[in-house]
Amino acid sequence: MTERVSAGKLSSAGGAVLEATPVALRVAILDRDSGFLQVLDKRLERLGWERRVLASSISPQAIVPMRLSAVIVDLAVLGPSCWDWLERVCVELPELPVVVCTGSSTVAQRVRGLRIGADDWLTKPCHPEELIARVEAVVRRRRRLESPQESLPIHAGEVEIHHDQYQAFVEGLSLDLTRREFELIELLASSGGRVLEREFIYQRLWGYSMVRGDRSVDVFVRKLRQKLERVSPDWRYIHTHFGIGYRFAAEPLEPLEPGEPELPAYDGISTPSDERDLARA
């Protein structure tokens, strides 16, 4: 894979388009059309957009650390695997706007791409200004949809998670979360009960791929569990899926029978004795 990375500063040049988008965007462009890219690059530089031009396919996992505002893709660059790639990106990164800018296509192809999850489709040859305007429109729509949801607290069991305060509360009592702990509980609680893999959690919170053997996610999960148990001891929130990751679901604990010992919660970090017990099981 080859790439060209360039970045510019905000400029007063650009007239109405720049005024409509005061915050510079960060985009990845999968394209090999040198003439089109040259014209587009000059325009994006004037707008102050950060851009990364890629000449071949890139995995969704590799896209996460780029922290992009949008992806612009010419499907011709991806060849026969273009539909599989488009579907993977749209499914695995549903919050990332995707704009297809490619050569002539049939109605069936355009409909397929949009139904897979692409946010917009533009046919070449096209003017770079139109492409920029479409990307801006897609990003604006996404932000309008996301903003109201972010401002509303998430309720789970006895816990209320407030995005605007970067804190979670139980009956008005703060869990006293660090920023990383808040990002973790918000990510887990917003997943709709899905199991999130450790690698996915790490990429979303730290912004790059997890090194083999890194236990940072497990450590932060343990700390977060301890704080939840301290203020909401009658509920269980974070569930471990062995060898995979974690799931967030508020479940009340069953009361213990008289004399029944309380088992400690598993924090995802095995000890030598744990390994021996598992081997014997």
Residue-wise pLDDT for 143-162, tens only, equals 766 655 556 788 999 999 98
| Token pair listed for 125 | 């040859």
Q: For the chain, which domains are there?
A: 3-149 (3.40.50.2300), 154-280 (1.10.10.10)
Q: Residue 151: its pLDDT value, please?
A: 63
> CA-CA-CA-CA torsion for 72, 76, 77, 82, nearest 10 degrees?
80
pLDDT at 275 over 60: no
**For residue range 162-215, what is the model confidence (pLDDT) as tens digits?**
887 889 999 889 999 988 899 899 999 988 889 999 888 887 787 666 777 888
Q: Residue 259: its pLDDT value, please?
A: 59
d(CA 121, CA 111): 9
pLDDT at 26 over 80: yes
Q: Residue 160: its pLDDT value, please?
A: 93
Q: Where residue 10 falls among pLDDT bands split at 50, 70, 90? A: very low
d(CA 223, CA 166): 16
d(CA 246, CA 197): 7
Q: Residue 139: its pLDDT value, please?
A: 87
pLDDT at 268 over 90: no
